[in-house]
Structure 1
Amino acid sequence: MQPNAIIFHGTGGNPEILWFPWLGERLAQRGYSVEIPHYPGMNSEPVATLLPKVLADHHFDERTVLVGHSGGAAFLLALLESLDVTVAQAILVAGYSTQPNASDEPVLQASYDWEAIRSHVRDIYFINSTQDPYGCDAAQGRAMFDRLGGTQIIRDDGHFGDYNQQYDTFELLDRLID
């Protein structure tokens, strides 16, 4: 059975920006079936309405790798909580589990079943920056790490891609994915 990877963009994003196409191509070359879906409602529609769409749109199994950036990483918490299988890996890039700034964050849930999330992912990684301009910083990564374990990676690298931060490749992600 072929492994699959699903890469989720963040708030206001799309599949064609940042390192998403590059990572998708790298994983496809390694034999992954890759999906980089476009969810225009990512972090603008309530997680309770977005989650059923995502669950219906994709296949999840023990060989699935989930990657999310920013709002897409925050969304992975609700997704992992709701799965009925244990996926291989989840990598949350510039992720967060609580309000990171003054903006509305409909991608967040009021609370999480941390035990359910942990039971639905074999290996989880949190990649955050000390200098994230939106508050998706190392403290946010640490809060998730403290609840879920896994691996926390802290860099001094902004938001790992943004309108004013070109980030076309992300070698670390390619190395982390089995």
Structure 2
Amino acid sequence: MGRRAIIFHGTGGNPDVCWYRWLAGRLAARGYTVEVPHLPDLNVEPIATFLPKVLGAHRFDEDTVLVGHSGGAAFLLALLEHVEVTVAQAILVAGYCTPPNTSAEPVLQQSYNWAAIRSHVRDISFINSRQDPYGCDDRQGRAMFERLGGTQIVRDDGHFGDYDQPYDQFDLLDRLIA
């Protein structure tokens, strides 16, 4: 089957912002089949109806690597809870599991089955900043790490890419993916 990676952009984002295409190119050069889906309804449509659409649109197996940024990272929690296989790796960049600010967060579930999430991923990492302008900070990363284990990385890199933060490459992320 071969190794595959799926990179999920953040709320209001698209596949062509920040480091998504750069990482896709790096992984493709290493033999990965890479998908960077455009999901305009991410964190707009309620997770209960959005999640089944995404699960049905992609193939997941033991060689799959999942990367999510911001709302895309929060989305990975629901995806990992409900996917029917154990994927190789998940990296949540500027992720969160509770509302990080006063914005509506339809991407979040009311609660999570943390044991199911843990059982559906072999290796999980959380990368957050101490100073994240949206509240997707190291405390959010710590909350997920305490429930799921894995690896927590704390940086001082804002939101790791945003409309006012150029972040065209993400070398750390490239190195974390086997």
TM-score scaled to structure 1, two decimals?
0.99
Q: Which residue of 2 aligns with 1:30?
A: 30
Cα-to-partner distance string for 1:138-167 (whole Å, 9 max, x where unaligned): 000000000000000000010000000000
Opposite residue 129 of structure 2, the aligned amino acid is: S
1:117 equivalent to 2:92? Answer no
Opposite residue 23 of structure 2, the aligned amino acid is: L
Counterpart Cα distance in 2 of 1:130 and 1:71 = 18
Q: Which residue of 1 aligns with 2:59?
A: 59
Counterpart Cα distance in 1 of 2:54 and 2:44 = 15
Opposite residue 134 of structure 2, the aligned amino acid is: Y
Counterpart Cα distance in 2 of 1:70 and 1:5 = 17
Counterpart Cα distance in 1 of 2:86 and 2:117 = 9
Cα-to-partner distance string for 1:40-80 (whole Å, 9 max, x where unaligned): 00101101111011101100000000000000000000000
Counterpart Cα distance in 2 of 1:163 and 1:18 = 9
Q: What residue ranges of structure 1 are gaps of 5+ in the alignment? A: none
Counterpart Cα distance in 2 of 1:39 and 1:48 = 15
Opposite residue 41 of structure 1, the aligned amino acid is: D
Counterpart Cα distance in 1 of 2:8 and 2:77 = 12
Q: Which residue of 2 aligns with 1:6?
A: 6
**3-state SS of 2:54 partner:** helix
Deviation of residue 134 (structure 1)? 0.2
Q: Which residue of 2 aligns with 1:175?
A: 175
Aligned residues: 178
Q: Which residue of 2 aligns with 1:81?
A: 81
Q: Which residue of 2 aligns with 1:145?
A: 145
Counterpart Cα distance in 2 of 1:123 and 1:19 = 22
Opposite residue 133 of structure 2, the aligned amino acid is: P
Q: What residue ranges of structure 2 are gaps of 5+ in the alignment? A: none
Counterpart Cα distance in 2 of 1:49 and 1:10 = 18
Counterpart Cα distance in 1 of 2:149 and 2:17 = 30
Counterpart Cα distance in 2 of 1:40 and 1:79 = 17
After superposing on structure 2, the runs of 4+ consecutive aligned residues of structure 1 that deviate more than 6 Å are none
Deviation of residue 2 (structure 1)? 1.2
Counterpart Cα distance in 2 of 1:88 and 1:152 = 17
How is 1:33-44 mapped onto 2 (pairs within 5 angstroms)?
A: 33-44=33-44
Opposite residue 13 of structure 2, the aligned amino acid is: G
Counterpart Cα distance in 2 of 1:45 and 1:134 = 20
Q: Which residue of 1 aligns with 2:158?
A: 158
CA-based RMSD of the aligned residues comes to 0.4
Counterpart Cα distance in 2 of 1:84 and 1:141 = 25
Deviation of residue 98 (structure 1)? 0.2
